[in-house]
Chain A
Amino acid sequence: MSLSTLLTEKRAIVCVGTGGVGKTTTAAALGLAAASLGRRTMVLTIDPARQLARALGLATLGRVGEPVDTKGFAAPGLLHAGMLDLKASWDAFITRHAPTPEVRDSMLANPFFQKISTSFAGATEFMAIEELCRLDESRAYELIIIDTPPAGRAIDFLRAPERLEKLLAPEVSKWILGRKGGGALQLMTGGARFLVHQLERAMGTKTMGELSGFFIALDAMFGDLSARAARGRALLTGSETAFLLVVAPTEAELTGARELSDAMRQLGAPLRGTIANRVHPLPGPLEVPEVRVQEVVRAAEADDACNAWLEGAWRDGRALARLERERLEAFSRTVPTDTAWVEVPELDRDAHSLADLARLAGLLTNPR
């Protein structure tokens, strides 16, 4: 399976990986590659927008998607880029799903909603998935490439719908709203009052009022929210979505990547490809005796500091390339077979322009 095949056949590509491995840049380059393959493509980033904006040569990125001028790169398709605006997305989401204007207004004004919507663990992930669903439903694009939040929280991306459902579990809102159900619930009410009383002492009555207001509004929206969470999960684990792992060949990142890859398999969304960025090629032939290197270095007729630096540059370059090779081979044995595997050599600079992205796109789709 090649990346070109995935870019041609899938409807959604999710780039995952630990932070600082060029994930956002890779997502942008994949977008350009897909556009070159003739697809109407949208790249949605979550990381601070400046990175992708810079790489795409855009000053600002809108939530909906700014068209990228790909003329000059012979892209017969289309490329749009956008970034997630968390607060705006949540507010729009509530506006879309609130059953009445009263519920909408009470939700938008609720301090708990305002805090939770932008800060609960998984808030970003949930909204990114929601935007992915919306883009998918709009049918404006044939392929949506989505970047995920960085660092060890990549797995939250798959767990976000489940987390939201937990928060929305009907028993929770029923309980806080004081509705009386069967015997068990009846029995709990006394204890529940006690808990609420304690929470009031801890947080103040006003806060408790706001908290129950939040749950009352949530309760009114429960059906819709739950359906959206289910829709997101279905899209992520469906056959039209492919998860690509972006990784750098360092010990720490490959360890993190292995855990991520295992967790994803368990969640029913196995990796469909790996992109190893920043791989250092081995300088020189496989075996070189030390004494011959010193002989070459002497040809520089330089001082001791320069000689030591030259030898160091050679030795470090070789050591690094060998280490990376060993690590990548060990890691490649842990990913599912029949998945894409592309190694991108360390480039002499970060992607600053569309031309840089086009070069990267070429390396991704036509690996050596």
Chain B
Amino acid sequence: MSARLRATQVTPPLQVVTGKGGVGKSTFAAALALAAAKAGKQVLAIELGEPGGLSALLGTRPTEHGIAVTAAKNLQLAWYDGEAALADYIVRFLPFGARLRPFFSHPLYRAFVSAGPGVRELMAIGKVRDELLGLSSGQPPWDLVVVDAGASGHTLQVLGMPAATASTFKSGLAHREAARVAATLSDPAVTEVHVVARPEVMPLDEAAEVIERLRERRLPVGRLVLNQCRPVPPGGAEEAIARVGRARSDELGRSLVAAATRELVWARLQEEGIASLERRVAKPALRLPRLLTATFGRAELEQLATLVADEVKP
């Protein structure tokens, strides 16, 4: 499987996007998916869990687990629910699986699914692998699968679950399936996990931790994406502010000096933070600009998609 993908793809076909809350993970995932679709790839974008950020950004909302809807030309959007994925799986793979359907509402089954150690996570990520390999339909229809995997703590749980399960269950179906999924996730020719952050001290620090934890688990780290970057101040910016201050002591002059000074302070903090993070994780950041528009709609998404177009070149 890997050999075939290596021969035809340079961008690994499974693109997982994660990051701490509120840093624009879904925005990057949507831009990446749209860019790939525009480049002519057949793309499936997946939300793990209830439809949320990706659906809002792409302006369409899949209503049913596992049923993809068209979000743009070449781009389909789906959401996977771990519990429903488990039911699908049981029906398809266990002997007499279909006879187990009545038990899906049984309290033991419900307890196992809602409280069991990562059952839902394992099933959801297993479903992603099925899609990638065309196991559901028989034919791999996707050149690229982009997964909006949610907040990084949860993603680490999801991505770590197959390996953990494979070691918990020493044998049986669960072991075999989990080991297969774990192998897919840790193969850098197949999978790439992008970490998204905002260029501020704590989020940058947390991004470094996420990257380190992904590496500890031998999950291939893709891009370090920084959303909402301020422009880098040009040389002489400080002197220019000072000259405005000397020439204009009126209200407007003072306000502009104050606004520019604040911007300069923040931009310098940003640059220090980014440089230190890049050193720590030995990886250059992909910077995306801050867009100050009232709402973030399709036009803004298209703009970001243009900026990330190079990420999905074959």
Which residues of A come within 8 Å of B, CB atoms?
18-21, 48, 51, 111-112, 115-116, 119-121, 149-153, 163-164, 166-167, 169, 171-172, 175-176, 191-192, 194-195, 198, 201-204, 206-207, 248, 250-253, 255-256, 283-285, 288, 292-293, 296-297, 299-303, 305-307, 309-310, 312-314, 316-320, 323, 326, 348-350
B283 CB within 8 Å of chain A: no
Is the beta-carbon distance between A306 and B269 smaller than 8 angstroms?
Answer: no
Interface string of B222-265 (1 = CB under 8 A from A): 00000000110111110111011001100111011011101111
Is there a chain A Cβ closer than 8 Å to B290's Cβ? Answer: yes
Q: Which of B154, B173, B243, B263 contacts A316 (CB 8 A)?
A: B263
Q: Are B233 and A253 in contact (CB under 8 A)?
A: no
Chain A residues with Cβ below 8 Å from B115 are 116, 120-121, 163-164, 166-167
Q: How far is the CA of A89 from the CA of B246 in the complex (A)?
A: 61
Q: Smallest CB–CB gap between B181 and chain A, Å?
A: 15
Residues of B within 8 A of A206 (CB): 170
Q: Is B7 an interface residue (CB 8 A)?
A: no
A128 to B: closest C-beta gap in Å = 14
Chain B hits for A169, CB < 8 A: 107, 111
Instruction: Report chain B residues within 8 Å CB of A255.
Output: 56
**Binary per-residue interface labels of chain B (101-143) against chain A in the complex, 1 for a CB within 8 Å, 0 otherwise:** 0110011111100111110100000000000000000000000
Identity of the chain A residue whose Cβ is nearest the Cβ of B94 in the assembled complex:
A198
Chain B contacts of A115 at CB under 8 A? 117-118, 164, 168
B157 interface residue (CB < 8 Å to A): yes
CB-defined contacts of B265 to chain A, threshold 8 Å: 348
Q: Is B117 in contact with A150, judged by CB distance below 8 angstroms?
A: no
Q: How far is the CA of A348 from the CA of B262 in the complex (A)?
A: 8
From the candidates B103, B116, B200, B236, name the one contacting A195 in the complex (CB within 8 A): B103
Chain B residues whose C-beta falls within 8 Å of the C-beta of A192 in the assembled complex: 108
Take A252-B24, A300-B244 as given contacts and tell me if A306 and B118 are in contact as well, using a CB distance cutoff of 8 Å.
Answer: no
- Which residues from B are CB-within-8-Å of A251? 295-296
Contact indicator A300/B241 (Cβ below 8 Å): yes
Q: Given the known inter-chain contacts A119-B118, A284-B251, please indicate yes or no for A204 contacting B107, CB distance below 8 A.
A: no
Known: A150-B21, A176-B108. A319 touches B114 (CB 8 A): no
B134-188 residues with Cβ-Cβ distance < 8 A to A are 150-151, 153-154, 157, 164, 168-175
> Across the two chains, which residue of chain B brings its CB closest to A280?
B262
A45 to B94, CA, bound (A): 44
Interface size on B, residues (CB 8 A): 81
Q: A169-B111, A300-B243 are in contact. Are A20 and B198 (CB under 8 A)?
A: yes
| B20 proximal to A (CB < 8 A) | yes
Q: Does B237 lie within 8 Å of A112, measured CB to CB?
A: no
Which residue, of B96, B107, B170, B265, has the highest number of chain A Cβ atoms within 10 A? B107
A166 with B168: CB separation less than 8 A: no
Q: Is B23 an interface residue (CB 8 A)?
A: yes
Q: Decide if B110 touches A151 in the complex (CB within 8 Å).
A: no
**In the complex, given contacts A20-B23, A204-B175, A300-B247, what are 13 additional A-B residue pairs having Cβ atoms less than 8 angstroms apart?**
A19-B21, A20-B21, A115-B117, A115-B164, A150-B151, A151-B150, A152-B52, A202-B174, A256-B22, A297-B244, A299-B248, A300-B240, A309-B233
Contacting residues of chain B (252-285) with chain A, CB-CB under 8 angstroms = 252-253, 255-256, 258-260, 262-266, 269
Chain B residues, Cβ within 8 Å of A314: 256, 259-260
* Complex contact A172–B22 (CB within 8 A): no
List A contacts of B248 (CB < 8 A).
Answer: 296, 299
Instruction: Give the Cβ gap from A52 to chain B, nearest Cβ, in Å.
Output: 11
Closest to A119 in B: B117
